[in-house]
Amino acid sequence: MTAPSPLRKRSLKGDLYVRSPEIGDKLRELITLPQGDIMVRCAVEDGDPKYIPSECLMYFVRANRENTPGIYFETIYGALLRRVMDQLPPEDDNDITNSEIRYESLGSFAETLAADRMSYDEGLDYYEIRFKESVANLRKNAARKPNRNKNRNRTLDPNPEDAEGGEFSPKIEKAAGSLDAENFEKYFGSHDRASLDKAISTLPELQIAILEMLKNDMPIDSKNPNVFTISKALGKAEKTIRLQRDQAMKKLIKILRKGEV
């Protein structure tokens, strides 16, 4: 039976972190399955024999580090984010602190996971051992963070050549166009699902994440500070999200019109 990759973080005594026997056994079972089966199981809820433990889901997201993002990554990444959100405080119009902790925690998690895709981050190893406890610690750290909302509306320094951070010049923003992207079905509802998924898989990881959230009716931004938004989830300025959204939509329309998938 194929063995999962070992963790790399060491304890203060110098011992390597080790997954629990249950998680190790479950991983050895799951990694023999086709990606399609893993994707289907992402929708299975706890209590079902086919449920994927969060520790295992974390492993699969990290193990996909070397691969080009596609529908498989989109599915497991989206499922993982939902697991994190399920443990965070709910949005509450009467308790702004809960909402702040929610988006601070998710933003920190998404940022660390993005860094892990670039270079292995040992700080995430504990999520593969005790996922719930790790998210609970993430939540506690966010709650302790001083001046939590100090930079909520801060925009990054303008850099028209940076497509993943900061504001953009009016010239580039105009060139990107303006699409009614929130209405995803308007543009792609009539397309074959397999072709659409294949086209989406050609997009950069950030754009895939944005489209996934749009499909789940998450707003890009909101004047209500208690509303959880794509901008907060990904830690990007509103204009960055909209530009990346427009670029993704235009590319998809072009690909599907030409029948390249």
Asked if 229 and 240 count as a contact pair (C-beta separation under 8 A), the reply is no
- Sequence-separated (6 or more) residues with CB below 8 Å from residue 139: 87, 88, 89, 101, 105
Cα–Cα dist 151/142, whole Å: 14
Alpha carbon separation from 247 to 7, 8, 123, 126 (Å, rounded): 37, 37, 33, 36
pLDDT confidence of residue 165: 34
The first and second tokens of residue 24, run together, are 């190790």
The first and second tokens of residue 239, run together, are 């204009």
pLDDT confidence of residue 51: 97
User: What is the mean pLDDT for each group of 10 consecutive residues in the chain (261 residues)?
Assistant: 87 94 96 95 93 97 82 85 86 68 77 81 95 94 64 33 35 38 54 68 75 72 74 79 87 76 50
pLDDT confidence of residue 27: 96
| DSSP 8-state code for residue 191 | S
pLDDT confidence of residue 77: 85
Residues in the chain: 261
The model's pTM is 0.61
Q: Kindly report the CA angle at 209 between 206 and 215, in degrees rounded to 5?
A: 140
pLDDT confidence of residue 7: 96
Indicate the domain borders of the chain. 21-144, 170-258
pLDDT confidence of residue 204: 75
The first and second tokens of residue 34, run together, are 């086709």
Identify the three-state secondary structure at position 10: strand
